[in-house]
A and B are shown apart, each in its own frame.
Chain A
Amino acid sequence: MVEYSWLIPLFPLLSFVLIVFFLNRNNRVSSYFAIAMILTSMVLSFKILVEVLANPHPYEAFITWLSWTGFSLPMGIYIDPLAAVMLIVVTIVSSLVHIYSLGYMHGDPRFARFFAYLSLFSFSMLGLVIAGSYVLILVFWELVGLTSYFLIGFWFEKKIAADAGKKAFVTTKLADLGFLLGLVLMIFVIGTATLPELNKKIESLKITAGMVEENHSSKQLHNAEMTVHEGVSKHHKTHNRTGESHEVGTATHGKAISKEDAKRTLILIGIAGLLMFMGACGKSAQFPFHVWLPDAMEGPTPVSALIHAATMVAAGVYLTARLMGVILISPTMGLVVASIGTITAFMAATIGLVQNDIKRVLAYSTISQLGYMMMVLGLGGYTAGTFHLYTHAFFKALLFLAAGSVIHAVHTNDIQEMGGLHKKMKITSITFLIASLSISGIFPFSGFWSKDEIFAVAFEGGHYVILVIGILVAFMTAFYMFRLYFMTFTGKPRDQHAYDHAHESPYNMTVPLMIFALLSIFAGWWGIPWLHTNYASFVFFGHPHHVEPNMILMLISLVVALSGIGLAYLMYYKRAISPETMAQRFKPIYTLLFNKYYFDEIYMAIIINPTYRLMEILFKFDQIVIDGMVNGVGKLTLLWSWAKERFDTYVVDGAVNGVGHLSLATGRAIRKTQTGQLQTYALVIFLGAVVLIFMKFI
């Protein structure tokens, strides 16, 4: 079965091609066909997951794509447990988003095209997941970027949407430059770009360089090795992979690479990995490149759910996970990935606290959660990072779809104009609540298990700063999610007109919500650390990394999350009793600071003001340092252009004009020979023939 996995991306591709070329006149047929295709992919993915569960040994199939002397570029698929899990995540989210779109996009003039784009997107993402070489990943990576451009700018009549699409494309493209450079460097250094070979190569180099246990970043590896001893008996089968790599290692060792050479190569690999991580930062909206994701909320909400919650941004995390081998050998890279993840998680969470656009809050929360994943991946927590990716996909997709359902009902994104919608939209409200509980990490929802895993990794590695920031972010996450929930669904309606027109969404929208709600609760149970065979014993890098469940840590994170929810309850649920205060809320938050409730003042003093100040500082920083740099670069460019202009006028133009005149004169002369007379040409041809015969005589 697993050898047919290359079929999975082809179904959505088929749907895209057929819709674009044949079916686009018929909305109903187009959408149903797209749904049927993605469901087929989902069924296939499930079968593959079952098979991979039974035999976790990675399946790989490569063919030579290009080859020239001494080098060949293989292309193929690589299905390991992570890929199998990702296939499931992508196909489930994609299928449900397809179905949801039936309702959400109903009546859109480009309904069929929307489904074509969704199919193309699913194709790209599934291709990326099964791709077995970094080159192929890059190909699908760019396809994903392109499709996201189509989908974000789907309502391109709106200038904001078109601009957002451009912004997303350009920002990720800039980051992709890093990916490309890293890829070239990696191919140059290692001579291969396939996933299995890269890891084998790294293993062998590590042995050659004799640095298996030296650097601080491989502390996790050390931990992994310690915990492995108990795992060995359980997971005998999975160990032949490492066995193989050792063999390869000694084989390469036979070629007598010196220790220094191996170390140098490892450093180069680390640089390549960092460059490629830059690409991942772009796609996953990490710290310097995060700006595009909130803007991308201008796209249709199913797109936000599909692209900006569950799949496209997951591509960056996925790539980083795929670079785990590099992270483990390069302490610098691990440090960079972990710090960027931590910064992003913290920054996005603080911004999320004060946003009023429902989708933007979700966008910042996505960025923050992705920061979590990057953070833990940087610490070597392959299992924890990918597990959070897996659970996050479901509850974040649910949050977006529920938000979409709300927007569909009240036709606004602003939570200050919502309120009390629980009575009108029970299903949406309850599913949103479930997702919020899950993302906040409340026991026993799935977010709890994955978030706890992350904290456990940070704790085990002794990275206490990161752990504390992580817990702080968890608190903020719980707070802003419930701020959102209380503002939207509870209290009195703030916009009576919108409230009166609000209604529960049709079944094709609520059913996906309910399915996602179930997944948001139960999907994480796979990772319960007390289980005998759980996620950690299935998806791991190198050796199964069994993190000891830490009851105290769990308790702390639970308490933190509950206090976040409690704070939100006090501030937004209680206060919502008085409508005048709600009216005041519409004023800028500064006026709110001085004449409002005690809760508001706490809120202001403790959270908003420092946040604002932080943001102001960040803004100033932006204005002075970043803008200064940008302007400086601009001025330099101007100067340089001026110099170039001079050069152009006198040297280049002179040369060009000279060449032009020369060509003109030559042309005038040669033109005479082009008489247009066939017989003249025949004469010349024959003359040539005679000359050839004549030459035979000499």
Chain B
Amino acid sequence: MSMLIFYILAIVAVVSALMVVTLRNVFHSALFLVLTLFSVAGIYVLLEAEFLAAVQVLIYVGAITILMIFAIMLTYQITSKSIRQVNEQVIPAVIIVLVFFVLSLVTLIKTSWPVSNKSLPGNNTFEIGRQLLSTYVIPFEVVSIVLLIALIGAIIISRQDGPSRPGQEDR
């Protein structure tokens, strides 16, 4: 049963990811990204990480993708789909990425992973919370500061007012 679910989710994720990177219309790409992220959330559920699945949906699907779509709408005329969306290095990129993929596949299959027989703690959301505020409290604080700085930075970077920048008129 779980096998079947995994395959469905995996195929949806991979196909929609392929769409994300190949579609001409960047808005459609964003919609397929949502689909991929949903499937990944499903994968998390399969991996017994229910909390992460929720976080994935809330933050990725709910916030980041919406942000992307906003940016697309601010910067793009959705009607002008005819713009070529890929650059000239598709063929070398395909070759290199395939080589990379094959190499990682070989590595993954050849490695004998030290699989443990134990199972996750039953109440793993509780466990994550406990660890975040004990073992990982310093990374946790640091990452909060990073987030704060990123927010401030984003605001400052995209502010419209302020001194006119050189080059604004030239192009």
Contacts and interface: CB of A to CB of B under 8 A. Distances in A.
Q: Do chains A and B touch in the complex (CB under 8 A)?
A: yes
Interface of A: 677, 679-680, 683, 686-687, 689-690, 693-694, 697
Interface of B: 87, 89, 92-93, 96, 99-100, 103-104, 106-107
Contact of A683 (B92, B104, B106, B107): B92
Chain A, interface SS category: helix
Contacts of A677: 87
19 contacts: A677-B87, A679-B87, A679-B89, A683-B92, A683-B93, A683-B96, A686-B96, A686-B100, A687-B96, A689-B100, A690-B96, A690-B99, A690-B103, A693-B100, A693-B103, A693-B104, A693-B107, A697-B103, A697-B106
A677 B103 CA distance: 27
B99 A694 contact: yes
Contacts of B99: 690, 694
Ranked 3 nearest A-B pairs via Cβ: A690-B100, A693-B103, A687-B96
A89 to B, nearest CB: 59
Contact of B103 (A680, A686, A694): A694
A690 B99 CA distance: 8
Contact of B89 (A680, A690, A697): A680
A679 B97 CA distance: 14
Contacts of A690: 96, 99-100, 103
A686 B89 CA distance: 13
A689 B104 CA distance: 12
A678 to B, nearest CB: 10
Nearest to A693: B103
Chain B, interface SS category: helix
Given A683-B89, A693-B100, 20 more contacts: A677-B87, A679-B87, A679-B89, A680-B89, A683-B92, A683-B93, A683-B96, A686-B96, A686-B100, A687-B96, A689-B100, A690-B96, A690-B99, A690-B100, A690-B103, A693-B104, A693-B107, A694-B99, A694-B103, A697-B103
Nearest to A690: B100
A159 B47 CA distance: 88
A574 B87 CA distance: 106
Nearest to A687: B96
Contacts of B96: 683, 686-687, 690
A680 B87 CA distance: 10
A694 B99 CA distance: 9
B88 to A, nearest CB: 9
A302 B103 CA distance: 83
Nearest to B110: A697
A693 B107 CA distance: 10
A693 B103 CA distance: 8
Contacts of A686: 96, 100
A261 B46 CA distance: 87
Contacts of B106: 697
B103 to A, nearest CB: 5
A645 to B, nearest CB: 47
Contacts of A697: 103, 106
A461 B31 CA distance: 106
B105 to A, nearest CB: 12
A694 B104 CA distance: 10
B87 to A, nearest CB: 6
A689 B107 CA distance: 15
A165 B113 CA distance: 81
Nearest to B100: A690
A679 B106 CA distance: 27
A342 B162 CA distance: 75
Contacts of A687: 96
Which of A680, A689, A690 counts the most B-chain CB atoms under 10 A from its CB?
A690
A693 B106 CA distance: 11
A535 B145 CA distance: 71
Nearest to B106: A697
B102 to A, nearest CB: 10
Contacts of B87: 677, 679
Contacts of A683: 89, 92-93, 96
A694 B102 CA distance: 10
Contacts of B103: 690, 693-694, 697
A608 to B, nearest CB: 75
B4 to A, nearest CB: 33
Contacts of A689: 100
A689 B103 CA distance: 11
B80 to A, nearest CB: 21
A687 B87 CA distance: 17
A675 to B, nearest CB: 10
A24 to B, nearest CB: 33
A481 to B, nearest CB: 70
Contacts of B89: 679-680, 683
Nearest to A680: B89
A507 B63 CA distance: 82
A686 B96 CA distance: 8
Contacts of B93: 683
A564 B103 CA distance: 104
A690 B96 CA distance: 8
Nearest to B101: A690
B98 to A, nearest CB: 10
A693 B102 CA distance: 11
A200 to B, nearest CB: 57
A576 to B, nearest CB: 77
Nearest to A689: B100
A683 B93 CA distance: 7
B110 to A, nearest CB: 10
A686 to B, nearest CB: 6
A676 to B, nearest CB: 13
Contacts of A693: 100, 103-104, 107
B112 to A, nearest CB: 17
A679 B87 CA distance: 9
A362 B93 CA distance: 86
B167 to A, nearest CB: 15
A679 B89 CA distance: 9
Nearest to A683: B89
A682 to B, nearest CB: 9
A603 B104 CA distance: 108
Contacts of B100: 686, 689-690, 693
A687 B99 CA distance: 10
A333 to B, nearest CB: 66
Contacts of A679: 87, 89
Contacts of B104: 693
Contacts of B107: 693
A686 B87 CA distance: 17
A86 B92 CA distance: 79
A689 to B, nearest CB: 8
B134 to A, nearest CB: 36
A46 to B, nearest CB: 57
Nearest to A677: B87
